[in-house]
Amino acid sequence: MSTLPDYQQAQLLLEKNEIFVAPAEAHGVISGLLACGINIEADEYLGLLSDVFNDGLAFNTDLKAFFATIYTQVVASFGDDEFQFDLFLPSDDETLVDVANGLVSWVSGFMLGFGLKQKDYGKLSADVKEVISDFSEITRLDTLFEETEEDSQALHEVIEYVRVSALLCFAELGKEQTDKSTKKTLH
């Protein structure tokens, strides 16, 4: 499984290329696209990302490679039988406020990616609707966490909930696309 770059390096790469989003948000958008059932085989995600992050302009080679790394990693981890999917957030060395802001960025990105491709919310299961509703609440999370064990535990519980919820969305909607594209190849 390809590994993601260091969070700080990812931030610098995005800023250097005048893409003013957090790496967490970029990872969230890609995760949201995949979780709602974008065709995994297609490079459609690059066009969608350039529309969202770069006014529709094509990305340079460095950014394409960066987004491809994230995309490949998310596809692999969503498909992993041991649920190795993780959110791309600032490291635990950062303050809880930084991690919490990263989480809010990730969830906002997920909602954006999910919304880009999922147009019919009426067809979603009750579980997925609940996730979307909860994620909407999380985007309004007060990120002023104190550096206490209690706040750290609370934040990590929210992160774990988000992680499992993203997997649930993928299991319900994204897997469908994966199965469809696998069936097509078999014919």
- pLDDT digit string, tens, across residues 94-142: 999 999 999 999 999 999 999 988 877 788 899 999 999 999 999 999 8
C-alpha to C-alpha distances, 150 to 35, 60, 98, 174, nearest whole angstrom? 31, 43, 16, 35
Task: Report residue 18's pLDDT band, with 50, 70 and 90 as the boundaries.
Answer: very high
- What CATH code is assigned to 7-179? 1.20.120.740
Which residue has 């909607």 as its token pair? 173
How confident is residue 187, by pLDDT bands cut at 50, 70 and 90?
A: very low
pLDDT for residue 177: 53
Say what the pTM is: 0.89
C-alpha neighbours within 13 Å on the C-beta side of residue 94? 15
